[in-house]
Amino acid sequence: MAYELFVPATTHGRSGGECGKMAIVSFAGSAEGIGRIPLFEFQRFLETECPEFDKFFYHDVKRRWYHKGIHGLSTGVKDTAAYLQGRLSTYEKVAFLGASAGGYAALLYGCLVKEVTTVIAFNPQTLVHGADLDQEYVDLKPVLEDAARSSDYKRFFLIGDVRVTHRDRYHHIWQCERVEHIKDHVFVIKEYPSSNLKVLRDSGQLRELVLRCLSGIIDTPTVRTEDSVPQ
């Protein structure tokens, strides 16, 4: 069973750039599809809205925030970073995307893979716990701080849910706000009434939000001018 899916670019797209020179990588959260079939999140959305990107989709069968690698491809964090580095080394621009545990993975590997310029994370965790996890990466604050110091071109967009009231929940906005101090690199977006992906998709806000964050990669007209997102 495959835990990696590749969908090639199908058009030059909005930017007019050469087809296949840009890539977007989606990390699925911990949910599984029917019959435990890997669920590749954002697949239909990205195929429709980002045709000019080559697209890679990953799923963490062990549900350990991608610390145990991607089944059949890698075995740990550094191993996964090296694998992704090899897969993406020929692209001019790369974006990582994910929600919840997938958002955590997008942030983590967005720091570790040098080609990544943009990360979009919905309800991500930035601090996780587990004795079986790689303790070097359970707290993303120092990882993001190091990436900001060493890679001036990286931008991390965190879309949080202000409706979650219990601080101990992994989707509490605190998980985003604890890294908000990393100015000019980390941008926490709180303006949307819901961070539920289905609600955002059905309302058209998911498209708006993703294209806003990708505006540094593709030439997309700015929809809004909030201070939380650089124009």
Residue 159 lies in a domain: yes
Residue 228 lies in a domain: no
Residue 105 lies in a domain: yes
Total count of domains within the chain: 1
In order along its 231 residues, the chain shows pLDDT tens digits of 568 999 999 876 554 445 668 999 999 986 654 344 446 778 889 998 999 999 999 999 889 999 999 999 999 999 999 999 999 999 999 999 999 999 999 999 999 999 999 999 999 999 999 999 999 999 999 999 999 999 999 999 999 877 777 777 667 889 999 999 999 999 998 876 666 778 888 888 888 889 888 887 764 333 333 333 333
CATH number reported for the structural domain that contains residue 68 in this entry: 3.40.50.1820
* CA dist., res. 87 & res. 139, Å (int): 26
Residue 189 lies in a domain: yes
Residues 6 or more apart whose Cβ sits within 8 Å of residue 79:
69
Residue 230 lies in a domain: no
Identify the three-state secondary structure at position 82: helix
Residue 110 lies in a domain: yes
Residue 221 lies in a domain: no
Q: Domain range holding 210?
A: 4-216
